[in-house]
């Protein structure tokens, strides 16, 4: 699907339009048409044919029925992000320039078949073909009155009430133009300012005006792109200095947008999505007054009391839960069970493979069950844990290849009794993987708990892990650049699901090449969730006294201060990108070219304009036209591994930028230093040879103290 608009000297030369049927059974020309805004705002519009003539944006006889909102690099501001994290559009062209050719191309990111339909009632729907042959709705708009264009009139926001009915509210600093009509549900006349803005207050530095914040909304129509500013403060000052500016918004996706005095078509998203709009109002309106302050004090006091009571209840619940866990390792009939929050069920006598459990899709509310395999079944499947079936090992124990009686191949992870991965980590991994379902996450088939045995049964990955290819000189050539980029994109989509699109917001904390498994088609799957942590909806950062993970992949703030967040996973992903591009381990760059690690080495080459030299020689010659794509990956990796977490992009931006050639990436900041120890360094630092050897990078010296 491709939607194109060609404008030259302010006039439309050509454009793509889609027209609905007259009815579901009549393919004649219907009343609704979809296309790009002819004014060049890069928005998608649906227009409705009006017999009386409406002078709308789609033509002289059309009125605007719906608009997508401005393009924000990964999505339209008026369409929920969650429905588009895998299925979305890519824009070719610059939305800040009104002239030129702009086209939207639909990206599927997978092999599924899709179709779009503009229904006779004006609803645009995207469908995906399932394996069952049925068409599933991916997203659809407009579906409620608030989705329709400017339902509440000018300077008002529309929120969905009961049964989707619109609830219209004037913006702060505004009042209904006709209070009687507005209160009666006639919102066409909209709202007007309750107190006028004067140009003098703007010019004097903004002392007489301020901005009322409106979070989580679909941004208004008729925005002006301001391309000369680079941050939110500059955008705010631009609006303050302009007498005609009535509001502004700034984000990474849209940059700086400003509006005039009329704000049209504002929709309040119900689930925290959308963008921040800052509406200019007189400072007197922002002064809440003593009465409001008194109410605020009362509300705060009530919240504190409720929080204290909730805290006491939570502590009591945790104490009772710990007692139950200690006593609940074995069920009431002596049968082994998982002592955690996850329901499990025993596998029956037919072990042709675990029946697909009645699993909850990550967003569903259904009860999630997990098969519980008897130890004798797992032992028989692996040849009594034969060394011939061993696939690998780590600090947790060993992984074996197994075959169930029905012929299904599985991977069996058997935790060692001396493993540092204890009961909590085991339960953590079972709970997370069972509840999270995504094509780029490894699938857990069942578990086994019997005596001191703790065993996990996974789907079998015939190509094992990424490091088995990437760091093996004899096999790395099998990973051509197309496959490597496919792996990078797949890991990014898996992280996007963990960080944003699953019901549980998860930080992995141990993302590395050995934890990326490859299926038969070389699709990457993130594995090993033993160290993962679930974040609450309002949590952005967590501190821990127990730093776990792998040296070389840990972000500076996590390794040094125990602070981790979704940006910690972004750092690890940046290291992974550099390893996939170069075919070398991070530690192997310790003494190469005077660089302390792969980050420093990549920065030296990229800043010198020699980024292509980082590409693995095994694929460099064959990469050809894909060299620009590889350089873009190096650029993105350097953004991901910046020293400060706040400088790193989030995963939605990473996914968008990797899939868009038109997105201009910001310049990464140079790395300060990264302290990383190889095995030889540890010998020198902790009692072996070379104890007096020291290393410096970027004019910073690390001094190690030794006691006498």
List, as residue ranges, the binding site for ATP: 413
Residue 571 CB partners (closer than 8 Å, separation 6+) = 553, 554, 555, 556, 558, 640, 641, 645, 648
Contact 654, 636 (CB under 8 A): yes
Contact 623, 481 (CB under 8 A): yes
Contact 555, 571 (CB under 8 A): yes
| Helix residue ranges, H only, 196-288 | 199-203, 232-241, 283-286
Cβ-in-10-Å burial (0-12, 13-18, 19+) of 485 comes to: buried
Contact 30, 22 (CB under 8 A): yes
Q: Using alpha carbons, list the distances in angstroms from residue 395 to 297, 422, 509.
A: 53, 11, 16
Contact 29, 17 (CB under 8 A): no
Q: Provide the sign of the torsion angle of the four alpha carbons 564, 565, 570, 573, taken in this order.
A: positive
Q: Taking each helix axis from N to C terminus, what angle separates 651-658 and 481-496, rounded to the nearest 10 degrees?
A: 150
* Block residue for tokens 């992949």: 553
At residue 364, φ and ψ (nearest 5 deg) are -85, 170
Neighbouring CB atoms inside 10 A of 388's CB total 8
Contact 446, 434 (CB under 8 A): no
Q: Does 388 participate in catalysis according to the annotation?
A: no
User: If DSSP states are collapsed to H, E and C, what string results for 568-632?
Assistant: HHHHHHHHHHHHHHHCCCHHHHCCCCCCCCHHHHHHHHHHCCCHHHHCCHHHHHHHHHHHHHHHH
- Where are any strands of DSSP class E within 484-551? 505-507, 516-518, 524-526, 533-535, 542-543
CA distance 34 to 21: 12
Cβ-in-10-Å burial (0-12, 13-18, 19+) of 618 comes to: middle
Select which of 501, 510, 569, 616 is catalytic: 510
Contact 202, 71 (CB under 8 A): no
* Pairing mode of beta strands 100-107, 114-118: unpaired
CA distance 613 to 620: 8
| Helix residue ranges, H only, 641-692 | 651-658, 679-685
Give CA 469 to chain center in angstroms.
28
Binding annotation: 413
At residue 41, φ and ψ (nearest 5 deg) are -85, 0
Q: Which two tokens stand for residue 278?
A: 């800052």
Task: Answer whether the bond into residue 142 is a cis peptide, omega within 30°.
Answer: yes
The DSSP code sequence of 4-40 is: EEEEETTEEEEE-EEEEEEETTEEEEEEEEEEE-TTS
Query: Which SS3 state, helix, strand or coil, does residue 510 take?
Result: coil
Helix H or strand E segment including 75: none
Q: What is the DSSP letter of 76?
A: B
Active site residues: 510
């Amino acid at each position: 699907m491709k939607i194109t608009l060609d404008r030259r000297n302010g006039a439309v030369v050509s454009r793509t339009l889609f027209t609905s049927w007259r009815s579901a059974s009549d393919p004649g020309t219907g009343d609704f048409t979809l296309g790009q805004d002819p004014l060049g705002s890069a928005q998608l519009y649906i227009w409705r044919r009006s017999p009386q003539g409406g002078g709308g944006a789609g033509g002289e006889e059309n009125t605007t029925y719906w608009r997508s909102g401005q393009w924000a690099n990964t999505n339209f501001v008026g369409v929920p992000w969650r429905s588009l994290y895998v299925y979305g559009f890519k824009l070719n062209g610059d939305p800040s320039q009104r002239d030129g050719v702009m086209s939207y191309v639909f990206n599927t990111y997978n092999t599924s078949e899709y179709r779009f339909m503009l229904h006779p009632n004006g609803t645009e729907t995207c469908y995906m073909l399932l394996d069952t042959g049925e068409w599933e709705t991916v997203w659809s708009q407009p579906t409620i009155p608030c989705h329709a264009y400017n339902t509440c009139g000018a300077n008002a926001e529309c929120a969905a009430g009961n049964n989707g009915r619109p609830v219209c509210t004037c913006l702060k600093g505004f009042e209904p133009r006709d209070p009687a009509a507005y209160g009666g549900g006639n919102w066409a006349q909209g709202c007007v300012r309750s107190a006028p803005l004067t140009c003098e207050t703007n010019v004097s530095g903004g002392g007489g005006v301020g901005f009322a914040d409106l979070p989580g909304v679909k941004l208004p129509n008729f925005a002006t792109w301001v391309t000369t500013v680079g941050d939110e403060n500059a955008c705010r000052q631009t609006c303050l200095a302009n007498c005609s500016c009535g509001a502004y918004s700034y984000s990474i996706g849209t940059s700086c947008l400003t509006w005039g005095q009329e704000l049209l078509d504002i929709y309040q998203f119900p689930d925290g999505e959308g963008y921040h709009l800052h509406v200019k109002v007189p400072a007197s309106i922002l002064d809440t007054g003593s009465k409001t302050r008194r109410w605020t004090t009362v509300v705060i006091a009530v919240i504190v009391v409720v929080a204290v009571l909730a805290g006491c209840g939570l502590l009591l619940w945790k104490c009772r839960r710990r007692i139950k866990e200690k006593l609940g390792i074995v069920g009431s009939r002596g049968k082994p069970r998982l002592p955690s929050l996850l329901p499990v069920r025993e596998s029956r006598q037919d072990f042709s493979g675990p029946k697909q459990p009645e699993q909850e899709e990550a967003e569903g509310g259904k009860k999630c069950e997990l098969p519980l395999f008897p130890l004798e079944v797992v032992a028989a499947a692996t040849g009594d844990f034969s060394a011939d079936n061993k696939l690998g090992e780590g600090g947790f124990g060993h992984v074996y290849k197994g075959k169930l009686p029905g012929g299904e191949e599985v991977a069996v992870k058997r935790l060692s009794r001396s493993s540092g991965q204890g009961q909590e980590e085991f339960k953590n991994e079972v709970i997370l993987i069972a509840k999270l379902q995504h094509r780029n996450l490894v699938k857990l088939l069942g578990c086994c708990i019997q005596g001191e045995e703790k065993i996990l049964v996974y789907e079998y990955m015939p190509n094992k892990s990424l490091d088995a290819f990437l760091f093996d000189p004899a096999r790395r050539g099998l990973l051509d650049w197309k496959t490597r980029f496919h792996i990078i994109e797949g890991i990014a989509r898996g992280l996007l699901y963990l960080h944003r699109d699953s019901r549980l917001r998860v930080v992995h904390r141990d993302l590395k090449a050995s934890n990326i498994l490859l299926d038969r088609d070389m699709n990457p799957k993130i594995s090993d969730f033993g160290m993962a942590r679930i974040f609450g909806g309002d949590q952005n950062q967590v501190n821990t006294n127990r730093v776990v993970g792998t040296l070389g992949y840990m972000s500076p703030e996590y390794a040094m201060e125990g602070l981790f967040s979704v940006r910690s996973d972004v750092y690890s992903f940046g290291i992974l990108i550099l390893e996939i591009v170069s075919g070398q381990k991070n530690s192997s760059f310790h003494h190469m070219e005077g660089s302390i690690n792969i980050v420093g080495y990549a920065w030296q080459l990229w800043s010198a304009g020699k980024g292509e030299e980082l590409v693995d020689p095994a694929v460099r010659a064959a990469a050809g036209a894909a060299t620009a794509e590889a350089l873009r990956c190096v650029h993105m990796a350097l953004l991901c591994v910046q020293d400060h977490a706040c400088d790193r992009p989030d995963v939605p931006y990473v996914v968008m930028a990797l899939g868009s050639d038109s997105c201009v990436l910001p310049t990464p900041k140079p790395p300060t230093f990264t302290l990383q120890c190889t095995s030889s360094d540890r010998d020198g630092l902790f009692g072996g040879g070379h104890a007096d050897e020291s290393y410096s990078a970027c004019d910073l010296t690390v001094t190690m103290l030794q006691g006498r």
